[in-house]
């Protein structure tokens, strides 16, 4: 509880926190002082929490989280259920309004513990504030808004968060700043509609959004040519919440289908808590005042008054034109509806449910499907239509062919009894969906009514007499500015019979009168009270007794003054205690709220209980301490026991001793005792032989033992024995003669172990060449007895590659010895392998030699070949890169092996000279008397790699019989003089032919063979003169075997 000041203001931008917490199961927090988590200088306001199963806020308390230059903080109230009410609640609306002036407030509920409640929040008293603060209601189950909530500041807000089925609206929620404000449901923000422009702007702000009317709107002065929200091709799939507000004077004149406030209400769309007053709508088919067409949506808590007409069109409804799988609940229409076919006061065509609806409508149509509630479709549930108007005149049903619903006169529709099964009553602020002023009004949707209190005041009090109180009064006051229908007159009131305070605004005091109101008017509450006080009576407790351990008897009482058959609830109590004695009897929970009890107590007496106790027989072994002497009691209560202990006759020798009651007692019991005997018996002990061992050949050790249980310095006589034998092994140790007559021995034997003798064995080092068989592996032993030897053999690690291998103990053993073995090594040395490069030869080709001609191997063992070698065979030596003819060395290398020691033997490369043929060209001439010298050139055959005569040495010279030849004939031209290191030159002779000389005689060519004829051959001047005589400078010559003929 807090009745003082708790201050945790914001400091250095750190918000303050104040927590008043109690057990959420059954605890209570009371606050009646000041909780200050404000921010008067800078920063945001802090956080305050008051949480418990019950939170009590006393009058005069104050809470503030205001921030001078930042955001206001918040206050969390967290009980089980919470009711905001003028009387009988947790907090009044006026108090909450005052709190919201200085801090945001969060009220959260939860169901747990013994405090009860369902986790609901009830707003039964008006709440209004003008500050930039937010009221947040977090209900584990449902929220019921049964009184107006008014937010007057553009920065103010209301947040509703429920875990149950929905929030219910029993009075308007208004945002009257003209703009701004915030409203959210279960974390989903709504856009607040403050004017008609914002309403029509829904088409651009989003047809799937959530919207709420901030206040009542007036559409007067504008005639719309189409639906205000959505279109035939663009459905509204969001939520439009009227919050208990209306749109007045909506006028639409359209030839379009799907016309209404909303053109098409699409899947999951919802319209709730909205009223249309004095509509005037003319439209095409599928039209209604509120919704043209609805498809799998929801419409509830709505009403329409006015006129809806189809422009030569059908499927016209006063509220909805066409409805498919769209529940329409808690709805009514008052006015006129007309069209062609399928015309109804509530809905034109309905393929869904319509429940708890009524219509007072003049409905007309020119075709099939016309009815006062529905033109065509599925059956209606618990819905009514008027057959007469308010004046009692019949409403025409001409052309009607669908009488779905229940027909009632207007008068019957003003009677509460008509609407059985509806959520309706004739009481103010009851939280029911409908309010009716019985006999005066049609059913009114409470969400659109403003609660108003007619002040009746205190109607008096009386003492409980088992009967309710009833009476009349003329003393009441209607609030200023409020105009109510009806005459008022005398009010009647009645109470229940129980003693309590009855309140008109809480529904417990039933006050009725002649006032009533219309829709958008008032939910009238008669604010009066009457108190029935409890009756004073006397109650006396009866004296009672019981035996210790028995259940308490029913504590009786005698009452003087009870009314009729009344009795008292609860029961008497007594001072706690169950021991024998006297205990005062008190009033306990004995009570009845209708009585004030004067109580006279009495006494409950508990007497000792008679029981029997028998000592248990007992025994102990000689030398032991006495056991606890047990007993068995018959008649003890519950877990009761006896105090003190039994005793026995003194003595420690073996024998029998009587057990007596001793000090055993309990004041709650009267004991009858039966004794018994304690017997002392010889002591049982255990003897365990110690394990023993010796090395083979040694003498036996002394066999030891361990006894458990010997008393004092007692010991055992005799000695242990063992099974005979001296070989290495295990021999059982037996009890032998070990004994003492004072003990009963339980003997546990053991074992004498003759262990093998420890010796050392060392392996001899060994070696072999790779590929050879293993040598016999030798060893040396130190410590063998006599001629003993070892069997088995040593072994070595597996492997045949060159390397070192550990020599191990292998199977070398003797059961009489424990061998400590020292190993050694078997070394496998590599085998010798000779790699000989193969000889190679080629004829000079002008190309450099590379590589080799293979190798041969000598030394492989065990059938191995070169595949076991590593590395890559490579060649070197003078032969690498050799071009010219000659002899060169070829050396091999590059191979490796762990198992072979490789040596290399060189091979030889021989480059033989290439054959080159030099052929002298043939030559010829006519005898000219001159000796021949030289030749006519040569031809070459055999050059390689693009070489030519430039690679030859020496100088070309010619010999043979041609040299110096002058006479006509054939001669040899023999070339020579050329040399080469790379070519084997073969010279081939050419031929020189010296032909006979040519002579002329006149114009005839003459072959002259003899020298004389030669001398007569014309000289050059003579030939020239001859040619001139022919008139030619050149003369063709033709060779004709032995002569030359000049052409003329």
Q: What is the mean pLDDT of residues 361-385?
A: 96
Q: H or E element: which one contains 1023?
A: helix 1020-1029
pLDDT above 80: residue 1042: no
Q: Where are the beta strands (DSSP E) in 548-608?
A: 557-560, 573-574, 581-586, 595-600, 602-607
Residue 588 Cα to chain centre, angstroms: 55
Flag whether pLDDT at 394 surpasses 80: yes
> What is the pLDDT, as a whole number, of residue 1044?
44
Check: CB of residue 676 under 8 Å from CB of residue 614: yes
Work out the angle at residue 172's Cα, subtended by the Cα atoms of residues 166 and 173, and round it to the nearest 5 degrees.
75
Backbone Cα Rg of the chain: 68
User: Is residue 14 pLDDT above 80, yes or no?
Assistant: no
CA 118, 122, 123 angle in degrees (round to 5)? 170
Q: Which SS3 state, helix, strand or coil, does residue 87 take?
A: coil
CA distance 435 to 518: 10
What totals of helices (H) and strands (E) does the chain contain, helices first? 5, 95
Backbone angles phi, psi at 16, to 5 degrees: -80, 155
Cα separation of 569 and 596, whole Å? 13
Residue 508: pLDDT band by 50, 70, 90 thresholds?
confident
Amino acid 57: pLDDT: 59
Backbone conformation region of residue 207, classed left if phi is above 0, alpha if psi is from -120 to 50, else beta = alpha
DSSP 361-424: EEEEESSS-EESSEEEESPPBS-EEESB-TTSPBPP-TT-----SEEE-TTGGG-GGGGTTSSE
Structural tokens at position 235: 């459905």
Average pLDDT of 863-880?
93
Residue 615 Cα distances to 657, 659, 875, 883, angstroms: 13, 7, 114, 130
Cβ–Cβ < 8 Å for 243, 271? no
Q: How far apart are the first and last CA of the chain?
A: 164
pLDDT digits (tens, 9 = 90+) for 292-346: 999 999 999 999 999 999 988 899 999 999 999 999 999 999 999 999 999 999 9
Domain 831-912 listed as CATH 3.30.310: no
Are 150 and 126 in contact, with CB atoms under 8 Å apart?
Answer: yes
Q: How far is CA 362 from CA 253, 336, 359, in A?
A: 20, 5, 9
DSSP string across 417-465: GGGTTSSEESSTT---SEE--TTT---EEGGGPEEEEEEEEEEEEEE--
In contact, 222 and 251? CB cutoff 8 Å? yes
Judged on CB neighbours under 10 Å (0-12, 13-18, 19+), 925 is: middle
Helix (H, G, I), strand (E, B) or coil at 199: helix
Indicate the pairing of strand 5-7 with strand 34-36: parallel
Whether the pLDDT of residue 919 is over 90: the answer is yes
CATH architecture, range 190-410: 3 Solenoid (2.160)
Query: Which of 209, 188, 190 shows the shortest CA–CA distance to 151?
Result: 190
Mean pLDDT score across all residues of the chain? 89
3-state secondary structure of 951: helix
CATH architecture of the domain with residue range 914-995: Roll (3.10)
Q: Which of 879-893, 959-973, 1031-1045 has the lowest mean pLDDT?
A: 1031-1045
Stretch 247-264: mean pLDDT:
97
On the 0-12 / 13-18 / 19+ scale of CB atoms within 10 A, 894 is middle
Q: What is the DSSP letter of 773?
A: P
Instruction: Dig out the tokens for 821 from the structure.
Output: 């073995």
Taken in order 283, 284, 289, 290, the sign of the CA dihedral is negative
- Residue-wise pLDDT for 591-611, tens only, equals 999 999 999 999 999 999 999
Split at pLDDT 50, 70, 90, the class of 60 is: low
Mean pLDDT value of segment 768-794: 92
Q: Is 107 exposed, middle or buried (0-12, 13-18, 19+ CB in 10 A)?
A: buried
For β-strands 953-959 and 969-979, DSSP reports them as antiparallel
> Fold identical between 831-912 and 914-995?
yes
Comparing 566-570, 650-654, 935-939, the range with the smallest average pLDDT is 650-654
pLDDT above 60: residue 1002: no
Q: Which two tokens stand for residue 107?
A: 């009220």
Quick check: helix, strand or coil at residue 555? coil
Q: In 71-126, where do the E strands start and end?
A: 74-78, 82-84, 104-108, 121-123
Contact 837, 890 (CB under 8 A): yes
Give the three-state DSSP class for 241: strand
Per-residue pLDDT averaged across 807-825, rounded? 93
Predicted TM-score (pTM) of this structure: 0.56
Whole-number Å distance between alpha carbons of 154 and 178: 8
| Bridge partners, residue 739, by sequence | 717
Contacts of residues 801-806 at CB distance under 8 Å and 24 or more positions apart, as own/partner, are 801/770, 801/828, 801/898, 801/899, 802/770, 802/828, 802/829, 802/830, 802/831, 802/898, 802/899, 803/827, 803/828, 803/898, 804/828
Q: What is the dihedral of CA 453, 455, 459, 461, to 10 degrees?
A: 70
Would you state the structure tokens that stand for residue 573, as one six-digit string? Answer: 């109590």
CA–CA dist 645, 664 (Å, integer): 5
| pLDDT top residue among 116 and 170 | 170
* Greater model confidence, 1034 or 42: 42
Return the ∠ at Cα 193 (arms to 192 and 196), rounded to 5°: 170
In eight-state DSSP terms, residue 112 is -
CA–CA gap between residue 445 and residue 523 (Å, rounded): 10
Residues above pLDDT 90, as percent of the chain: 76
- What is the tens place of the pLDDT at every residue in 834-849? 999 999 999 999 999 9
CA atoms within 13 A on the CB side of 915: 5
| DSSP-derived secondary structure for 602-655 | EEEEEEPEEEEEEEPPEEEETTSPPPPPPEEEES--TT---BS--EE----SSE
Q: Which of 105, 12, 21, 108 is nearest to 66 (CA)?
A: 105
The torsion angles phi and psi of 356, rounded to 5 degrees, stand at 55, 55
The C-alpha atoms of residue 695 and residue 699 are separated, in whole angstroms, by: 9
β-sheet bridge partners, residue 971: 992
The answer, yes or no, to whether residue 714 has pLDDT greater than 60, is yes
Q: Where are the domains of the chain?
A: 5-178, 190-410, 434-531, 536-607, 609-681, 683-755, 757-829, 831-912, 914-995, 998-1046
- Indicate the range of 4-13, 94-103, 400-409, 544-553 predicted with least confidence: 4-13
pLDDT at 27: 54
In angstroms, the Cα distances linking 518 to 302, 510, 727 are 15, 21, 124
Phi and psi, residue 203, nearest 5°: -60, -30
The encoded tokens of residue 271 equal 């319209």
Cα(873)–Cα(339) distance, rounded to whole angstroms? Answer: 111
Out of 229-238, 293-302, 440-449, 710-719, which region has the weakest mean confidence (pLDDT)? 710-719
DSSP 260: S
pLDDT number for residue 890: 94
């Amino acid at each position: 509880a807090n009745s003082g000041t708790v201050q945790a203001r914001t400091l250095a931008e750190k918000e303050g926190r104040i927590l008043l917490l109690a057990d959420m199961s059954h605890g209570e927090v009371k606050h009646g002082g000041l909780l200050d988590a404000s921010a008067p200088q800078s920063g945001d306001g802090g956080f305050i929490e008051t949480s418990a199963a019950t939170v009590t806020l006393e009058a005069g308390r104050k809470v503030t989280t205001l921030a001078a230059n930042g955001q206001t903080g918040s206050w969390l109230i967290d009980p089980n259920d919470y009711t905001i009410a003028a009387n009988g609640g947790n907090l009044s609306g006026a108090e909450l309004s005052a709190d919201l002036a200085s801090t945001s407030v969060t009220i959260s509920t939860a169901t747990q513990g013994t405090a009860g409640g369902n986790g609901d929040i009830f707003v039964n008293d008006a709440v209004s504030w003008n500050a930039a603060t937010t009221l947040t209601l977090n209900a584990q189950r449902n929220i019921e808004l049964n009184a107006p909530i008014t937010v007057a500041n553009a920065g103010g807000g209301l947040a509703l968060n429920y875990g149950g089925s929905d929030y219910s609206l029993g009075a308007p929620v208004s945002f009257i700043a003209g703009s701004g404000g915030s409203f959210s449901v279960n974390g989903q923000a709504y856009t607040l509609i403050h004017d008609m422009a914002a309403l029509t702007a829904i088409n651009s702000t989003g047809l799937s959004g959530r919207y709420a009317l901030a206040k009542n709107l007036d559409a007067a002065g504008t005639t719309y040519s189409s639906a205000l929200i959505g279109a035939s091709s663009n459905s509204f799939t969001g939520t439009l919440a009227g919050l208990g507000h209306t749109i007045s004077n909506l006028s639409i004149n359209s030839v379009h289908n799907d016309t209404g406030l909303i053109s098409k209400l699409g899947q999951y769309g919802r319209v709730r808590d909205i009223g249309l007053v004095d509509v005037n709508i003319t439209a095409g088919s599928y039209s209604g005042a509120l919704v043209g067409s609805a498809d799998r949506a929801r419409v509830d808590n709505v009403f329409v008054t006015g006129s809806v007409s189809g422009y030569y069109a059908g499927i016209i409804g006063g509220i909805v034109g066409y409805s498919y799988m769209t529940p329409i609940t808690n709805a009514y229409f008052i006015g006129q509806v007309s069209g062609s076919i399928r015309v109804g006061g509530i809905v034109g065509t309905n393929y869904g449910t319509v429940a708890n609806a009524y219509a007072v409508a003049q409905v007309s149509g020119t075709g099939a499907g016309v009815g006062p509630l529905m033109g065509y479709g599925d059956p209606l549930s618990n819905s009514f239509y008027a057959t007469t108007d308010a004046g009692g005149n019949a409403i025409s049903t001409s052309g009607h062919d669908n009488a779905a619903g229940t027909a009632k006169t207007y008068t019957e529709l003003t009677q509460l009894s008509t609407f059985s099964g509806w959520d309706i009553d004739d009481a103010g602020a009851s939280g029911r969906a409908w309010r009716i002023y019985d006999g005066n009004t049609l059913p009114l949707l409470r969400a659109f009514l403003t609660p108003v209190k007619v002040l009746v005041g205190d109607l008096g009090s009386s003492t409980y007499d088992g009967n309710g109180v009833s009476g009349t009064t003329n003393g009441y006051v209607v609030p200023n500015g409020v105009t109510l229908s009806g005459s008022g007159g005398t009010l009647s009131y009645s109470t229940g019979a129980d003693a309590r305070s009855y309140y008109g605004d809480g529904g417990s005091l039933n006050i009725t009168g002649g006032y009533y109101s219309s829709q958008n008017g008032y939910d009238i509450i008669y604010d009066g009270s009457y108190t029935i006080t409890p009756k004073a009576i006397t109650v006396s407790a009866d004296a009672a007794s019981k035996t210790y351990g028995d259940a308490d008897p029913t504590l009786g009482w005698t009452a003087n003054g009870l009314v009729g058959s009344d009795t008292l609830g609860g029961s008497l109590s007594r001072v706690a205690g169950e021991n024998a004695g006297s205990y005062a009897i008190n009033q306990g929970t004995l009570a009845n709220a209708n009585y004030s009890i004067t109580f006279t107590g009495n006494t409950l007496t508990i007497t000792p209980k008679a029981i029997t106790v028998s000592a248990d027989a007992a025994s102990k072994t000689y030398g032991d301490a006495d056991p606890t002497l047990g007993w068995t009691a018959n008649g003890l209560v519950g877990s009761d026991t006896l105090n003190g202990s039994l005793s026995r006759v003194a003595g420690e020798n073996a024998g029998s001793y009587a057990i007596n009651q001793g000090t055993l007692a309990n004041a709650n019991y009267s004991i009858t005792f039966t004794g018994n005997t304690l017997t002392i018996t010889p002591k049982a002990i255990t003897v365990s032989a110690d394990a023993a061992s010796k090395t083979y050949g040694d003498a036996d050790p002394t066999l030891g033992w361990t006894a458990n249980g010997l008393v004092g310095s007692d010991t055992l006589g005799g000695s242990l024995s063992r099974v005979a034998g001296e070989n290495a092994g295990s021999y059982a140790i037996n009890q032998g003669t070990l004994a003492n007559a004072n003990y009963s021995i339980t003997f546990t034997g053991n074992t004498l172990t003759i262990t093998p003798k420890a010796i050392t064995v060392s392996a001899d080092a060994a070696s072999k060449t790779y590929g050879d068989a293993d040598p016999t592996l030798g060893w040396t032993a130190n410590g063998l007895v006599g001629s003993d030897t070892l069997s088995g053999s040593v072994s070595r690690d597996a492997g045949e590659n060159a390397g070192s291998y550990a020599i191990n103990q292998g199977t070398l053993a003797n059961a009489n010895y424990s061998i400590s073995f020292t190993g050694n090594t078997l070394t496998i040395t590599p085998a010798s392998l000779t790699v000989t490069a193969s000889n190679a030869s080629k004829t000079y080709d002008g190309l450099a030699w590379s590589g080799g001609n293979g190798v041969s191997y000598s030394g492989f063992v065990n059938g191995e070949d070169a595949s076991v070698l590593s590395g890559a065979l490579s060649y070197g030596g003078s032969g690498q890169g050799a071009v010219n003819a000659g002899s060169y060395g070829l050396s091999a290398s590059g191979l490796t092996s762990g198992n072979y020691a490789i040596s290399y033997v060189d091979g030889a490369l021989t480059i033989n000279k290439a054959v080159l043929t030099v052929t002298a060209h043939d030559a010829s001439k006519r005898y000219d008397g001159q000796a021949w010298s030289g030749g006519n050139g040569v031809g070459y055959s055999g050059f390689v790699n693009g070489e030519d005569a430039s690679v030859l040495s020496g100088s070309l010279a010619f010999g043979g019989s041609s040299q110096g030849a002058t006479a006509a004939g054939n001669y040899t031209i023999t070339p020579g003089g050329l040399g080469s290191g790379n070519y084997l030159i073969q010279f081939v002779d050419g031929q020189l032919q010296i032909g006979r000389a040519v002579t002329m005689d006149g114009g005839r060519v003459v072959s002259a063979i003899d020298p004389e004829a030669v001398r007569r051959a014309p000289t050059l001047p003579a030939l020239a003169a001859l040619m001139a005589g022919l008139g030619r400078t050149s003369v063709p010559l033709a060779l004709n075997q032995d002569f030359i003929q000049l052409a003329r």
